[in-house]
Amino acid sequence: MDTKNLDKSQMLALLNDIEFLTENPVGATVQDKVNYQQALFAHRLDIGKAFNTGDYKDGKPVLNYYRPLDPWTDEGDKQWLGENTAEFAEKRQLVELVKKVSALAHTLPGQLKAVMQHDAVYNMTPEAQLEYCVHQSKGYDAGTLAKCLYTSYFYGPINTFLRKQLPGSVDSKIIDLITYTLGVLEKTIKNDKVVHQIETFRVELKSEWMKNPGKGQVLDFPAFTSTHPSEGGVDTMLKDIAKGTFGEVGEPAVLKFQGRTKVLQPNVKYFPEEVETIIPPGMRAKVAHVDVTTLDIPGKGKTAVKLYTLEIQ
């Protein structure tokens, strides 16, 4: 296998194999193990480490098995960092988050599918998206992983949970991952002291929940609010509607947010090319104007929709 130019799904398959090898050291050939180790180095991943048996074959070391390394275990950190330090607490959080992703990914794929979208762009199942974020966030803190999870289609369950719209039947392990991720995100936002002055735009695909507010009315945004940093971003999103990326569209409206707010800034993203300004949960915004604008909606054509200018409170 050429391990140098792997796309996302090949990389994921490879990493799954490595995990398999970790538990089944006897199952693979020496050459397989050498290849995997090279792939790990090529991608600067330290998910597992091969132990050198001390034997050489064809001039290459014979690798015995893979020992899982951080963040899969925190034993080493306990000794290095000291059990009662802030660094260790930070590391524990990462380990917990990784474990919760793993628990979901390996035991509940069907359940996750019911609340989280498949990624049609990279053909990644919901659980593969979460694992991909774990692997991409290696070497970073829990905040980085939590933010990456939000940038996958996991934003769906998170926002639905925050809007109290998740069905009661959802498995407790999914709720557990959502609430833990939210705890990490909350801490990350709290620690980031920068308040931004923004003017951003959002397409509200199903604006029915807003109930046609008038000037002066204050709206609550209990979930994260994804916005485009420029008006042009709105067109990009409209094109994606045609691909079915956002499911059904109800009564669309455009929201223009103005004011000062903290923003969530992912350093590792599931879709690295996506540009967005994410406003944290709990925002309140007052309607300053209600105007009309035109959106060119795929399947509907040019459509007059409401444009709400909202002042962040």
Ligand X SMILES: NC(=O)c1ccc[n+]([C@@H]2O[C@H](COP(=O)([O-])OP(=O)(O)OC[C@H]3O[C@@H](n4cnc5c(N)ncnc54)[C@H](O)[C@@H]3O)[C@@H](O)[C@H]2O)c1
Report the interface residues with ligand X, using CB under 6 A: 155, 159, 163, 202-206, 209, 226-228, 237, 246, 276
Cβ–Cβ < 8 Å for 3, 38: yes
Q: Which is nearer to ligand X, 51 or 246 (CB)?
A: 246
Q: Which is nearer to ligand X, 7 or 248 (CB)?
A: 248
Q: Which is nearer to ligand X, 20 or 209 (CB)?
A: 209
Instruction: Classify 307 as helix, strand or coil.
Output: strand
Q: How many CA atoms lie within 13 A of 112 on its CB side?
A: 28
CB of 208 to ligand X, least distance (A): 8
CB of 267 to ligand X, least distance (A): 16
Closest CA to 291 of 277, 309, 274, 276: 309
Burial group, residue 103, by CB count within 10 angstroms (0-12, 13-18, 19+)? middle
Spacing of C-alpha 197 from chain mean position: 25
CB of 20 to ligand X, least distance (A): 31
Burial group, residue 273, by CB count within 10 angstroms (0-12, 13-18, 19+)? exposed
CB of 213 to ligand X, least distance (A): 12
Q: Which is nearer to ligand X, 144 or 227 (CB)?
A: 227
CB of 290 to ligand X, least distance (A): 17
CB neighbours of residue 34 within 10 Å: 17
Dihedral sign for Cα atoms in the order 119, 122, 126, 131: negative
Copy the structure tokens of residue 119. 């990624």
Q: Which is nearer to ligand X, 37 or 129 (CB)?
A: 129
CB of 203 to ligand X, least distance (A): 4
DSSP letters for 214-283 = PTT-EEEE-S-EEEBSSTTHHHHHHHHHHTTTT----S-EEEEEEEEE--B--SS-SSTT---EEEPTTE
Q: Which is nearer to ligand X, 71 or 126 (CB)?
A: 126
Closest CA to 257 of 202, 189, 196: 202
CB of 229 to ligand X, least distance (A): 9
Q: Which is nearer to ligand X, 93 or 159 (CB)?
A: 159
